């Protein structure tokens, strides 16, 4: 007996992966195999997702009124855009004036960086660079300095 809901879900994941030029086979989901077959299919997909290295591009000097739909075409002219994320202020929800664009192909991303850097969007010249990874944050008591040393007992 097949599990149609799980089969459909797995098939949709694998169809998405085929769109990304991945060739996977769908395991036969039967009552005997059940959830184990589903897990093996989702594990195969997670391994593929880990192998995909998206190139992140920093886009700065944005006007506060710029939307994702205004940024995306600038980069899609040079290749496939996976995601556009405009960074917003936590409290106000207003744009912080910069965004990140993720592209699947590194060469296309490099070409887009060269082409879009300095482009005028909504009256402002864009500053476009390869995004640097976030620096590791130190954790200690009080949110600041190094961890405290234990004090010697008084007696």
Q: What is the pLDDT of residues 102-145, one digit of tens each?
A: 999 999 999 999 999 999 999 999 999 999 888 877 665 555 66
- Strand-pairing partners, residue 60, are 127
Lowest mean pLDDT, pick from 31-40, 78-87, 110-119:
31-40
The CA distance from 102 to 100, in Å, is 7
**Residue 104 CB-density burial (10 A; 0-12 exposed, 13-18 middle, 19+ buried):** middle
**Structural contact between residues 48 and 41, judged by C-beta atoms closer than 8 angstroms:** no
CA dist., res. 98 & res. 70, Å (int) = 13
- Please list the residue range(s) of the chain that carry CATH number 3.30.70.330: 55-130
Instruction: Tell me the mean pLDDT in the region 24-31.
Output: 46
- For residues 79 and 8, the model is more confident at 79
Ramachandran sector of residue 63 (left: φ over 0; alpha: ψ -120 to 50; beta: rest) = beta
Predicted local confidence at residue 66, as pLDDT:
94
pLDDT of 29 > 50? The answer is no
Average pLDDT, the chain: 76
For 12-43, the DSSP string reads HHHHHHHHTT----PPP--TTTHHHHHHHHHH
What is the greatest pairwise CA distance in the chain? 73
Q: What is the pLDDT of residue 26?
A: 46
Q: Does domain 55-130 have CATH number 3.30.70.330?
A: yes
pTM of the full structure: 0.57
């Amino acid at each position: 007996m097949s599990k149609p809901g799980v089969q459909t879900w797995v098939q949709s994941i694998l169809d998405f992966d085929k769109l990304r030029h991945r060739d996977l086979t769908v395991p036969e989901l039967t009552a005997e195999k059940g959830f184990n077959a589903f897990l093996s299919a989702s594990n195969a997909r997670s391994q593929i997702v880990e192998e995909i290295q998206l190139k992140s591009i920093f886009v700065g000097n944005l006007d506060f009124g710029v939307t994702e739909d205004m940024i995306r075409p600038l980069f899609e002219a040079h290749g496939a855009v996976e995601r556009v994320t405009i960074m917003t202020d936590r409290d106000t929800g207003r744009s912080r004036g910069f965004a990140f664009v993720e592209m699947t192909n590194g060469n296309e991303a490099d070409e887009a960086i060269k082409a879009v850097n300095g482009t005028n969007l909504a009256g402002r010249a864009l500053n476009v660079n390869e995004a640097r990874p976030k620096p590791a944050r130190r954790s200690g008591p009080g949110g600041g300095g190094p961890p405290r040393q234990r004090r010697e007992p008084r007696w």
